[in-house]
Chains A and B, each alone.
Chain A
Amino acid sequence: MLETITVRVFRGDANGGEEKEYRVKTFPGMVVLDAIHQIQAEQDSTVACRWNCKAAKCGSCSAEINGKPRLMCKSRIEDYYGEDGIIRVHPLKTFPLIKDLVTDVSWNYKTAEKIAPLSVSSGVPRPFRMQQVDVERVQEFRKCIECFLCQNVCHILRDHNRKDGYFGPRFMVKLASLDMHPLDEIDRRAQLHSEAGVGYCNITKCCEELCPEHIHITDNAIIPLKERVADEYYDPLKKVIRLIFGRNGRKMPVSSSSKK
C-alpha cells in the first residue's frame, strides 16, 4: 500500500465548486471515510460529509468514488487509488447539493410518506403466524439501509430527473416488501401503476448491481411488481371480464391519497 495518497474532494455548494486536493497518510484497512475524517481533523475542518455507523449498516456516507456510487465506509482505499495514487470523491449527482459531499435527499423522505404502512385485518388472529419460507423474500427487501445509492444511479431519476413520475428503486423495494408481506391487506397495484410509476423502469439493473446490501432489486422486487401491474391493467382477457362484470378483486385498490 502507498504511504500517502492524494484525495481529490469536491468542494462547493449549490452555486458550484471544484475539486480540492489533499495529501493523506494511509494505514492498513483504511477506507475512504477514514481519509475524509483525517482531512477534517488535520487539514480542513470545513469539509462536509455525512456518516454514522462506519460499518455499512446505516447508509449515511454515500458518495461517488472515482465516479462510482459507493458507501465511503465500505470502500477500501487500495481498491480505488491507481498507480497515480489518486482517489476522487464527489457527492451524489442525482440530488441537489447542499455542501461538499452532502446532498439534499429530502425527496426520498417525501416519497416514503406516500406509501401506506402495513395493514393487517382485525380478523387475522394474533399473535401473527407466518412461516419463515413465506417471509424470506420480504426480509431480503427489509435489509435496505436507505443509502439511496440505487436512487442515485437510476437513470430515470439521474438522467431524466423524473422524480415526479417514478418513486425509484428504493421505494419499489419498499412497496414490494409490503405487497409480498403475507398479511398485508392493501392492494398496492393502483399506486404502483400510477404515482409510483413502476412502468418507468426498463430493467437495466444498474441499481441491483451496486446495492451494498446485495438486494436483488430488479429481479426480486421490480420485475414481480411489473408483472402484478401488467396482470391487472394489461391482461386483455381480464379487461373483458372487468368490462362485463365490473371490478371485484380480492382486495380494494388503495392509493396513498385515499388513506387516512
Chain B
Amino acid sequence: MEAYREHAFDVLIVGAGGAGLRAAISVMEAGLSCGIVCKSLLGKAHTVMAEGGAAAALGNMNDGDSWEWHFVHTMKGGGYLNNPLIVEIYAKEAPERVRELEEYGAVFDRTPEGLIAQRTFGGHVPFKRLAHVGDRTGLEIIRTLQDKAVSLKPKIFMEMTVIRLLKDGGRVVGALAYDRHTGEFIVFHARAVVLATGGWGRMYKFTSNSWESTGDGAAMAFEAGAELIDMEMVQFHPTGMVWPPGVRGILVTEGVRAEGGFLRNSKGERFMFNPEYMTDVYRGKFAETEEEALAWLSDSRKHRSPPELLPRDVVARAIYKEVRAGRGSPHGGVFLDVSHRGEEYIKRKLPSMYEQFRALGDIDITKEPMEIYPTIHYTMGGIRVEPETCASSLPGLFAAGECAGGLHGANRLGGNSLTDILVFGKRAGDGAVQYAQSVSGGKASAEEIEEEMATMLAPLNAASGENPYVLAQELQEAMQKGAMIERTEAGLLECLDKVMELQKRAKSLRVEGDRCYNPGWHTARDLQFTLRISEIIVRCALERKESRGAQWRSDYPGLSEEWGKKNLVAVKEGDSVKIMERPLPEMPPHLKAIMEEKK
C-alpha cells in the first residue's frame, strides 16, 4: 500500500487567501491547534489580485452611509437571491473587520481627517464605501493577514494540494493532500475542517483567475455530500484586458470607472446612457446625461453617478451587446478611457493599472483609452453555509469566502469580496473552534484514503491515455461558448454534452514524468474538479429559466417572480448531480422594514 505522512490538528484550514488566514487567526487566538494548507506559496492566493477596495459602511466620507444601506445595496445587486441573514451579518460586521486590519498593520489611504479613505463602486452609489490602497487593496489585505497569522504560529503547509475530504460516517474528520514538491501523500486529521479554497474560473478560456481557481473546495465538498447553492451564478467582470492576446482576460479594476472612467463604443458614444441597458431596480438612480455624469466627478453628493457604475452584471451585458451589434473596438472589445483625469491623478489612484498597461499592453492610460471586454472573474455560488457559523450541511465542515455561497446572490458588487473574506473568515474560524471543542476526534476512513491515492496516481502509471492539457482546453472552449454571458437552452445542452463526454475521457488520462513538482500530473487532478463543477454550473443554468443577475438566459429574457423565490441547490446522488429547488430563506420583519424604507 502507498505510504503517507500524518498530521493532526484541532482545526484544519484549506486555503490561505484572506478567508483562510482570517479563520486561522480566530483559531489560534482561541488557543486551538491549527494547520493551514495552501496550494501556492504563502501570500500568493487570489486575494492578492483584488484591486479596488473592501466595502464597509465606515462612514468616513461623511455621506450618511450605514450598514442598512450596505445591506440594501448588496441585496439589490444580488437580484434578491442572497440569504438576507448572511447579508445582515456581513453589512453589520464589515466595518469592525476593516478597522481591525489597521490594528494588524494595514495602511489604507487616508481622508483629510486622517481616517481610512473610501471610494465608491458599482452598486454602492451614492456612498463612498470601499476602503482602499490605490489599486492594490488585495495585496495590502493578504499581507496584513499573513503577517498577523504567522505571528500566532499556526503550522503552515505551502504548495500542498488537498484532494479529498475524509469522513467518519457522515462527519468530516480530515483531508488527504499531496505535496507538490515531492508528490508524497499527507493525511490530516482534524476535528473541524474549514474550506477557504476560493472560486473557479479556470474552466473558462478568458478569465482573470490564476491556475488555482479550479473549484477544489466546492468539488470536494460536493463529492463528500455537502450542498452547493446558486452554482449557475458566475460573474463576468465587465473589464478584462483584450489586447495583446497574451494578456486577454487580465483584470482591469472597476476603480477605473469609479475614478471617472468612460466606456465608449467605436462610434465614440458613452453607450451606458442607452436606456435599453438600464434595469428597473436602478432606473432613475443614475445620471441620464453626460453633463450630469461629469458634474458627479466634482460633487458626488449633489449629482447622480455615471451609468458606468451600474452593477457588474448590467455593465458586462451592455458591453457584450455593443460588440455584438458591431460597435466594438478593433480587437473585439469596447473602450475604457480615464485619460481626462490627468497623469498625476491616474498615477496616484491607479498605479498598478498604469503599470499593467504600460508593461503588458503598450498603452499609456494617462493619454489613450484601454480596450476591454468581460472576463470570468468570480463565482457567487458555492458551499451552502449557516449564516452565524459558516457550517456547511456536513458536520465538521465549514466554508468561507468565495467557495461559500449565499452572500452575493445572483451578482456580487465590487468591493464585497474583500470584506466577505474578513467577516466570514472570522466567523468560520469561530464556528470551527466551537464545533471542535464539542466533539471528540474521529477516524478517517482508510478505504477513502486508499481509493483517492490510487485515483491520483493512475495517470502516472497508465500505459496510455489522454493528455490532461488537451481536455482542459476543450473544456474551456466549450464553457466559453455555451455557458458564458448569454445563455440559451440549446447552447447549454450542447455544452453539457461536451462536459459529459470530457468526464468520460478524463477517466483515462496519462502524464509523463515522476511525482516531483510535475505540472502535468497536477493538471490531471485539477481537471477532475473543473469537470465536476462545470457540469453543476451548466445543469443549474439550464434549470433556472429566467434572467437574473449573472444568469442571462436570452430565451427567458425577463425576471420571473416564481424563480425569484428560490435558490437552486446541487447535491450528489449516487454518482450524479441532483438539482433541487429550495425556497429562499424568509426575510425577518426588521430587514423587510429596512428594504421598504430604503427602496
Mark A residues whose CB is within 8 Å of B. Answer: 13, 27-31, 34, 40-42, 44-60, 74, 76, 98-100, 102, 105-106, 109, 112-113, 116-118, 120, 126-132, 135, 138-139, 142-146, 177-178, 181
Contact = CB atoms under 8 A, between A and B. Distances in A.
Contact of A74 (B99, B359, B511, B523): B359
A107 to B, nearest CB: 12
Interface in B64-107: 99, 102-105, 107
Interface in B17-48: 40-46, 48
Given A60-B44, A139-B134, A142-B143, 12 more contacts: A40-B469, A45-B511, A54-B210, A55-B49, A56-B355, A56-B356, A57-B48, A128-B102, A130-B110, A135-B110, A138-B107, A142-B107
B517 A100 contact: yes
Interface stretch (B145-153, B299-307, B392-400, B483-491): B145-153
Contact of B244 (A29, A144, A178): A29
B517 A117 contact: no
Contacts of A54: 210, 250
B244 A98 contact: no
A117 B116 CA distance: 20
Nearest to A108: B41
B181 interface: yes
Q: Which 5 A-B pairs have the closest CB atoms?
A: A29-B244, A45-B520, A129-B114, A46-B513, A118-B105
Contacts of A60: 40-41, 44
27 contacts: A31-B360, A45-B518, A46-B512, A46-B513, A46-B514, A48-B517, A48-B518, A50-B40, A50-B41, A53-B48, A55-B247, A56-B352, A56-B356, A56-B360, A57-B48, A60-B41, A99-B516, A102-B517, A117-B147, A118-B103, A118-B104, A127-B116, A135-B107, A142-B143, A143-B136, A143-B139, A177-B107
B214 interface: no
B49 A57 contact: yes
Given A13-B516, A51-B211, A126 B99 contact: yes
Contacts of B352: 56-57
Nearest to B110: A132
A129 B115 contact: yes
Contact of A112 (B150, B355, B468, B523): B150
Nearest to A75: B359
Contacts of B133: 139, 142
A178 B105 contact: yes
Interface in B113-131: 113-117
A187 B328 CA distance: 57
Nearest to A36: B519
Contact of A55 (B113, B251, B469, B523): B251
B274 interface: no
Nearest to B520: A45
- Among A13, A45, A51, which residue has the most Cβ atoms of chain B within 10 A? A45
Given A56-B359, A126-B99, A145-B139, A47 B147 contact: no
Contacts of B40: 50, 52, 60
A238 B96 CA distance: 44
Given A50-B41, A56-B359, A127-B116, A117 B99 contact: no
Interface string B343-367: 0000000001001100111000000
A145 B133 CA distance: 14
A29 B360 contact: yes
Interface in B147-206: 147-148, 150-151, 153, 158, 181
A53 B210 contact: yes
B469 A127 contact: no
B44 A52 contact: yes
Contacts of B134: 139
A29 B245 contact: yes
B246 A34 contact: yes
B151 A58 contact: no
Contact of A28 (B244, B250, B356, B473): B244
A28 B245 contact: yes
A27 B246 contact: yes
Contacts of B516: 13, 48, 98-99
Contacts of B513: 45-46
Given A127-B116, A132-B110, A135-B107, A57 B139 contact: yes
B254 interface: no
B109 interface: yes
B467 interface: yes
B246 A52 contact: no
B236 interface: no
Contact of B140 (A48, A50, A118, A142): A142
Nearest to A105: B41
A56 B139 CA distance: 12
B243 interface: yes
A117 B148 contact: yes
A42 B523 CA distance: 13
A51 B246 contact: no
Contacts of A146: 43, 143
